[in-house]
Each structure stands twice: as C-alpha cells, then as structure tokens.
Amino acid sequence: MPSSVATLLVLVPLLPLAGAIATVVLGRRLGPRAHLPAVAGIAGAAAVALLLLLGLGRETGDGHGPPRPVEMTTTLWEWAGIDAASAGGTAQVTAAVTPDGAASPQRRFSIPVTLRLDPLTATLLVVITSIGLLVAVYSIGYMHDDPGYPRFFALVAAFVFSMSMLVAASNFLLVYVFWEAVGACSYLLIGFWFAKPEAARAAKKAFLVNRIGDFGLAVAVFLLWLTYGTLDFHDTFAPDGTLVTAGILGQERLGDAAGIVGGAVGTAICLLLLLAACGKSAQLPLHVWLPDAMEGPTPASALIHAATMVTAGIYLVARCAPLFVASPGALALVSVVGTTTALFAALIGTMQNDLKRVLAYSTISQLGYMFASLGTGTLLGFTAAIFHLVTHACFKALLFLGAGSVMHAMGGVIDMRRFGGLRRVMPITAATFLVGSLALAGVAPFAGFFSKDEILASLHARGWPDAHHGPHHEQGHGAGAGHAFGPAAPNGATAATVAPVFRLVAASPGQEAAPSGLDALDSPGTFRLLFWMALVTAGLTAFYTFRAVFMTFTGPTRIPEAAAGHAHESPRVMTVPLVILAVASGLVGWWLFGTHTLASFLAATPSLAAPSVASTAVPPAFHLDLALQGTLAAALGIALAAVGHLGRRSDGPQMERFLGPLGTLFANRFYVDQLYAATVVRPLQFVAHVAAGFDRSVIDGAVDAVSGLPGAVGGVVRRLQSGLLQRYALAGMMGTLIIVLALAWQLR
C-alpha cells in the first residue's frame, strides 16, 4: 500500500482517538469549549475518509467490464505472535484446510494490526465519520447545559474511533476487539445520565444482550481459526512474493473453488456470525435492548442506534459474504430472521406513543430489511443492503436529531399525545422531519425509495427466479420507463440464470445433492413469503412514520407545561445538521442509484468480487413493477395514517380503538420482555440469590470462624488474669509442681 494512502488510512481512526484523549485530559479546563478536540478530530477523520473514498473510486474504474477486486492493506505492528515450535509442544496450531492442499502442522499464530482499504470499508468510513461529525456538531447545542458535557464528546469521539477501526480491521480478532469496544461505548452513552435508574438499567440490558451476540462471535472466531488456520481477511506474502498465509477472505482463497469450507462447520460458523449480528443489530430474538436504549441522549441514539453501531452486524455479514454463500441454509436463515424482525418491529411501532420509541422500532425494522437483502446471497442483495445502510444512516439520523430538537423544545417531553401542531412553532425541524419521513416511507425520489426498491428486487429475484431472466425482463429493461435509470447495454453474464448458479455454488465439498434441515429454507417458496412480508412491512413503515409526523406536527398547537416559555425553534448549530441531512436524504439515493456508482464500486470489494458472489450479478435495472408495488404500499400507509391522525385527530387513541386486543399485544411488544424476564432473568436472579446466600453464610462463615478462633481462645485464657495476688501465686506454684512431678517421673 502506498505510504501516503497508509498514512491517510491510519489517520481516520487516529484523529478521533486523539480528540477523545484530549477531551478527557483537557475537558474540564476548556469549559464550554470542551467540544473542540472531539469535533476537530471527527471533522479531520471525515475529510480524510472522503479523500480515501474519492481516491479509491478512481482506482476501481467506472463500472465497465467485470469488476476486479481492489484492496489495500497496511500492517502497523504484530499484536500477538506465537511460534508453533515454541508453543509448549502440545499446542495444536494446525489448520484443517489450506488452499495449498496439505495440512501444515506447524503454523504460526499471528494477529497483526492490519488496516485495510477496500470499497466496503471506504463507504462505511465515510458514513461513520460524516454522521459522527453532524451528530457532534448537533450535540454542541443539544448537550449545552449538561454537567457531563466533556464526557459526552469524549465518548462520541471514542465511539467514532472504535467503529472506524471495526470496519477497517483486517483480522477477525481485531474485529472482535472493536466489536466489544463499540458495545462498551454504547453502554457508556446509554447510561450517560447514570444517576437515573431507568438509564442505568437500560445500559445494563443493552450490554448484556450484546454480550450474548459477542459470545457467538467469539466461538465463531475459534471455529474460524480451527478451520482456516488464520484469522486474517487478507493474504500475507513473504518479501519475495510467495504466499505465506491465505487470508479467509483473501483473493487467493476466494479464487479457489474449494477455498471456503461449507457443510456443517461452515454452517455453524455462519450461524454464530448471525447470532453476533443479531445481538449488535437488534434482530429477533436479541432486539430487546434497542427500544430501552432510547434512555440515552438523543444525539447518541442518532449516532449509535440508528446510523452506525447497529450497522456493524450488517457489515459483518456483508464482509463474510463468501462464507455465507457457501452455506445456503444459514444464508436463507439470515433473510428469514431479517424479514420477520422487520414485520414484528413494524407492528409494534404502530402502537408506540413515544416518538423516540417509534424511531427505535423503525430502526429495528429497517435493519431487518437489510438482513433480508443480505440473505438473498446475490450481489444485488449485498449491494442493496449496503445502499440501504447508507441511505438509512442519512434519514434515520435526521429523524432522530429532529426528535431531539422536538424534545429539546418541549422540555424533555417526548410523548406524542402531549404535544401537537409543532410545525408552527418549529418550521425547520418540521420540514426536515417530513423529508426524513418521506425517505423512510420510501416515497420517490427520496433516498429510501431507491434502496427499498433494490431490496424488494433482490427478494423478488430469489422468489421468482425465472421471471428475472426471461424475455419479460429484457423487455421491461429495454422499455422507456427503465431506460433512463440504467446503463445503455448490459455487459457480462445476462444469460446466466440465477437458479442454476445457486445450485452450483451451494454444492460445497461435503454436501449431499438433496438439501435437508436448514438448507430446506433456501427455496424460492421461502423468498416469495419473505417478499410479501417485506411489502406489508413497507406499508406499515409508511403508516407508523406518518402517524408520528401527523401526531407531532399537525393539528392544533399544544405545548406541555414543562416547555412553557421556551418552545421555539432550535439554534442554528442544531438545525444546520438537520438541513444537511435532509439534503442528503433527498439526493443521495437518486445520485447513487442513478449513476450505479455504489453498486459497481462495492462490487470491487474482494468479498463481493469473489466468483461465488459475483457470478450472481445481474445488470442493474429499475424494476418498474416493484417500484409501483412499493409506492402503492407506502401511499396506502400514509393515507391510513392521515385518516387516523391528521389535523384535529392528532392526539386521540385511534389506534387503540381500532386494533383493540391486537393493539394491546403490539403495545406490549408481544410480551417478549416479559417472556425473557420469566424464563431467563428471574431464574438467573434466583441463582444469584442462592450464590449470594452461600457466599454470606458458608464462605464468610468459614472466614469469620477462623478469625474468631483466637478471640475465643483468648477469652478462655483471659480468666486466669483476675488481679488477685494469691491466684497468681497459686498458678505459679501449680506450674512448679507439674515441672517437679515431671522431673521426678523422668528420674524414677
């Protein structure tokens, strides 16, 4: 890697880290300017990330011809290295499968701190740092009066550092380390107002649920080491150019048909990675922490729980795309979990009255969409998921920051039933929030429309495999409606149908011809069901989003007492990020889709350029029929929301009346929290009580007994000392008598 690029790449995590450390050291002394080091660090990182993205974009070319993988790595130092010969003799560092065929018994355990630059990393770095910058600037206004002002900025900068390192690390163990680091930053930010018991409880819950996912990731790392003998993504070469280690996602292994292990071990690894992603990205059944995480400050929610940390799971699955494609059962499960979560969360979101909770469930639902798209296993699916990640980051951060603006003006009240008609009070917030809602609902030409369209297209392609490569598709593509959006003529493999390619790729060495067990999920029937679920969810998304918009911003103006006196538009430092994000939500989708920049750019990522994934490429097209279906669902949702909540009806319990007992089920979040409390939390608390009792009575009792022994002995001996002269004399005489008797006994 050229040293200038390496320097720039190292600067991206380094500048926020320096900002965080500077804030910790100087924060108290800087007073109201404590935000400067952190904001400067993140701004620098954002500029550098943008430079890297543009430079890499030039490198990957302009999309003509089959994409060739582009990656650059730079190794900073070796964090851990154990030579095989010195490993005590009994340690096994063997690899089961190596690309050169023979299992080499002497392999060195090495964890280099290597940063990588490829299209996926560059895209995510830009998203992380720019959203981070906007959130940090916004927080200058939002956290203005908070006594923990420097701590907040230190944490935000530390988070940007950890997340940047997570996406830039080129080694599974490093990813694990920074996976934990972002979890720790999330805990500290959710529990920012730690004196509030709900916040402390929510932070603990988030951390514990994340831990379950982290366990999955740890076991996956162990299995990866055992299977592949290395934990690096990239290939390591000796100075003379020979291959030393083939990375798990390196080009040497990916180019080899038998490089990625499938079968039971491969499926196990993928299921564990899915567990980790579910924990971090709040999918079923580990979604329970995200709504409670809204106890943290709203900018933290915008950064972490909307745009960045929760996308770490998406990143992991996208990065490990070749591994998942080799285990089609696990891949289909990803889609099933994602779509189910999307529908589930959307249903719950319709009944929420707290604006931030609506957005939290919306986040869970949209992350479910991304997983649904990832699980299709096609190049379209993977790129659509990342595209949706980018657009979702823009509009969800916008929505959260807008909710924060509302909360700031309403004096901390966020229950939508207590305020209304705020568009007269806060016009900029209302306008930007509307833009964000339109993007979320998937209304053209805002960002969400294009990304959601691509996701629906990828699900449709798996559900109806023949429909996309018959003559119908060619006509639809060549016709006028789609023409303006796609390139003039398709290149490459249009004739290759999707379904046979899947059969070819899915047949990994150890598998039988007839799919069984988990692999039975990987069928068009499943994806048809998932497609309809996704369509219904799109309608529900539009519904609950616009229900929130109408309840908050339309109708008669009502202001709660807590805000009396300072219900006004937010200061410029808060509204400018809102406007920037609104512009991005409007334009990003159009631009990235229209020029197909993102799809072809991402296709140059080694994981996605692997033949197993890249062979599923279809020419980019605008699917008018799907776009119409999506728009229809969105329009229906918005119309229903208007009927229920627009204008004068913006504060009433329409949803409760309409849905009745079903509504109670949704409002209580399907009783999942109660289920977990009964099955997991209470038994564990019982075990903890038993253990505490044992500790107090048995262990402490034993220690206290040992400590009490000298006292007891002393108490007995003490009675000899009575203060009476004659008793002392008697004691002395008795002692002498005993000695004389003993002597006499000896001498008899």
Partner 1 sequence: MTLLPLVHDGLLVGAILFALGLVGILARRNLIVMFLCAELMLQGIAVSLVAWSRQHGDWGGQMLVIFVLTVAACEAAIALVIVLQAFARTGRLDAAAWQSLRESNLPRVIDHGLPAPDTVAPRFPRLTPAGVLPEQDEDEVLHREHV
The tokens describing 79, both together, are 């964090």
Question: What's the CA gap between 100 and 568, in Å, rounded?
Answer: 68
| Minimum distance of partner 1 from residue 151's CB (angstroms) | 54
* Counts for the chain of helices (H) and strands (E), in that order: 32, 4
- Please identify, using beta-carbon distances, which residue of 264 and 729 lies nearer to partner 1: 729
Q: Which residues contact 499 (CB under 8 A, 6 or more apart)?
A: 465, 466, 524
Q: Which of residues 226-255 bind partner 1 (CB under 8 A)?
A: none
Q: Which stretch binds partner 1 (CB under 8 A): 216-224, 661-669, 671-679, 719-727?
A: 719-727
**Burial environment of residue 238 by CB neighbours within 10 A (0 to 12, 13 to 18, 19 or more):** exposed
Nearest residue to 313 via CA among 187, 191, 442, 183: 183
CB nearer to partner 1: give 237 or 728. 728
Is the Cβ of residue 3 or residue 726 nearer to partner 1 in the bound state?
726
- Judged by CB under 8 A, the residue of 489, 513, 514, 724 near partner 1 is 724
Shortest Å distance, C-beta 739 to partner 1? 15
Our finding on whether 718 is near partner 1 (CB under 8 A) is yes
Question: Which of these segments, 152-160, 394-402, 528-536, 723-731, binds partner 1 (CB under 8 A)?
Answer: 723-731
Question: CB of residue 730 vs partner 1: minimum separation in angstroms?
Answer: 5
Helical (H) or strand (E) element with 303: none
Does 29 interact with partner 1 (rule: CB under 8 A)? no
Q: If you write DSSP's letter for every residue of 57-112 in order, what string do you get?
A: HHHH-SS-SSPPP--EEEEEEEEEEE-STTSTTT-----S--TTSSPPS---EEEE
Which of residues 25 and 730 has its CB atom nearest to partner 1 in the complex?
730
CB within 8 Å of 79: residues ≥ 6 apart:
111, 112, 113, 174
Sign, Cα dihedral of 305, 311, 316, 322 = positive
For residues 232 and 78, give the distance between their C-alpha atoms in angstroms, rounded to a whole number: 12
CB of 683 or CB of 735, closer to partner 1: 735
Q: Of 690 and 734, which has the nearer Cβ to partner 1?
A: 734
- Binding residues among 608-667 for partner 1 as defined by CB under 8 A: none
Using DSSP, state whether 284 is helix, strand or coil: coil
Choice from 77, 101, 517, 719 touching partner 1 (CB under 8 A): 719
- Number of residues counted as binding partner 1 (CB under 8 A): 11
Q: Segment contacting partner 1 (CB under 8 A): 552-560, 600-608, 657-665, 713-721?
A: 713-721
733 binds partner 1 (CB under 8 A): yes
Closest by Cα among 429, 430, 648 to 556 = 648
**Does residue number 744 form part of the binding site for partner 1 (CB under 8 A)?**
no
End-to-end CA distance of the chain: 99
Count of CB atoms situated within 10 Å of the CB of 576: 16
**Binding segment toward partner 1, per CB under 8 A, in 275-283, 448-456, 607-615, 724-732:** 724-732
Q: Does 729 bind partner 1 (CB under 8 A)?
A: yes
Minimum distance of partner 1 from residue 204's CB (angstroms):
49
**Does 730 help bind partner 1 (rule: CB under 8 A)?**
yes
Which CB atom, from 66 or from 715, has the smaller least distance to partner 1? Answer: 715
Instruction: Write the binding mask 503 to 542 for partner 1: x where contact by CB under 8 A, - elsewhere.
Output: ----------------------------------------
Work out whether 716 is an interface residue with partner 1 (CB under 8 A).
no
Distance CA 545, CA 435 (A): 11
> Can residue 687 be called a binding residue for partner 1 (CB under 8 A)?
no
SS3 call for 244: strand
Pairing outcome for strands 236-237 and 243-245: antiparallel
Query: Cβ 707 to partner 1, closest distance in Å?
Result: 19
Stretch that binds partner 1, among 6-14, 103-111, 419-427, 720-728 (CB under 8 A): 720-728
Q: Which residues bind partner 1 (CB under 8 A)?
A: 718-719, 721-726, 729-730, 733
